[in-house]
Homo-oligomer: A and B are copies of this chain.
Amino acid sequence: MTSMTRVDGRSAEQLRPVSITRGWLDHAEGSVLVEFGRTRVLCAASVTEGVPRWRRDSGEGWVTAEYAMLPRSTNTRSARESVKGKIGGRTMEISRLVGRSLRAVIDHAALGENTIVLDCDVLQADGGTRTAAITGAYVALVDAVRHLERKGALKGQALIDSVSAVSVGVVGGVPMLDLCYEEDVRADTDMNVVMTGDGRYVEVQGTAEREPFDRKLLDGLLELSAIGCAELTRAQSEALAVDLPAGSAR
């Protein structure tokens, strides 16, 4: 692993500063403003009784997610998908990824016939929005599950493990952790890894942006991502260790 300095002065295996602010919204049953450097995602968990039609009378709950970017979260403004009248492929792909990642740590039977929707809205984008979304949404999900617990609406321990995600990539031949946008556009390979708190994989998505990559580079990226996810798991634990203020709506 190299110790070459990066655009923002980090070492290759270093995350950007991570900030997880719980209770950022008054209405949602769980809400988190998560920041990976300048990337800023607002995650809101909404609890409703009942499940979608296709899951009714299964005794099991449902967790799903929707990801979106504000038009000016990015460097140049993008048109709203609501105005275009359809959702782009990237948005759908990430929404599905966030949902799958969270469901991997949920015991749906213990959840009972309740639905939790995680809205992940990117307020500012600087690379790694999907991994920040997963990492923050997990914390909002925990608050939503605690809300159900306080109401006596669970049928057991609904959370099996924690889940976090990080991007890794090969920039200038060097594997690097948690790419910012400037690094991301220059990367040969881009990989998003979603891991549980106990260090197993939920998703591994590696893409050769330019040059195909060999097994050795792949191994290097997998190692870096494990370092990053372990650190994010700690940040999630710390954020969740604090009690939310008593007067909070949740």
Instruction: Known contacts A200-B214, A213-B201; decide if A66 and B73 are in contact (CB<8 Å).
Output: no
Does A72 lie at the interface of the complex (its beta carbon under 8 Å from any beta carbon of B)? Answer: yes
Q: Report how far A25 CA is from B208 CA in the complex, Å.
A: 31
Interface centre among A27, A91, A96 (most CB of B within 10 A): A27
A87 contacts B83, CB within 8 Å? yes
**Chain A stretch 108-146: residues in CB contact (< 8 A) with chain B:** 117, 119, 121, 123-124, 126
A206 contacts B208, CB within 8 Å? no
Quick one: CB contact mask for A100-114 with B, threshold 8 Å, 1 for yes? 100010000000000
B124 contacts A27, CB within 8 Å? yes
Does A19 lie at the interface of the complex (its beta carbon under 8 Å from any beta carbon of B)? Answer: no
* B residues less than 8 Å from A26 (CB atoms): 38, 124, 126
Min C-beta distance of A1 to chain B, whole Å? 17
Does A5 lie at the interface of the complex (its beta carbon under 8 Å from any beta carbon of B)? Answer: no
B119 contacts A71, CB within 8 Å? yes
* B residues less than 8 Å from A86 (CB atoms): 82, 85-87
A117 contacts B27, CB within 8 Å? no
Does A236 lie at the interface of the complex (its beta carbon under 8 Å from any beta carbon of B)? Answer: no
| Complex partner residue of A202 from B81, B96, B208, CB under 8 angstroms | B208
- Helix, strand, loop or mixed for chain A's interface? mixed
Instruction: Known contacts A119-B72, A212-B200; decide if A93 and B89 are in contact (CB<8 Å).
Output: yes
Q: Report how far A75 CA is from B191 CA in the complex, Å.
A: 34
| Complex partner residue of A204 from B46, B75, B196, B205, CB under 8 angstroms | B205
Q: Report how far A170 CA is from B168 CA in the complex, Å.
A: 25
**Chain A stretch 11-53: residues in CB contact (< 8 A) with chain B:** 25-28, 31, 38, 42, 44, 46, 48
Interface centre among A68, A76, A208 (most CB of B within 10 A): A208
Interface centre among A31, A82, A205, A215 (most CB of B within 10 A): A82
B68 contacts A44, CB within 8 Å? no
Does A77 lie at the interface of the complex (its beta carbon under 8 Å from any beta carbon of B)? Answer: yes
Q: Report how far A195 CA is from B212 CA in the complex, Å.
A: 8
Q: Report how far A248 CA is from B93 CA in the complex, Å.
A: 33
Q: Report how far A85 CA is from B84 CA in the complex, Å.
A: 8
Min C-beta distance of A185 to chain B, whole Å? 15
13 contacts between A and B (CB under 8 A): A25-B72, A25-B73, A25-B123, A27-B75, A48-B76, A82-B87, A83-B87, A89-B96, A191-B204, A202-B212, A203-B207, A203-B208, A204-B206
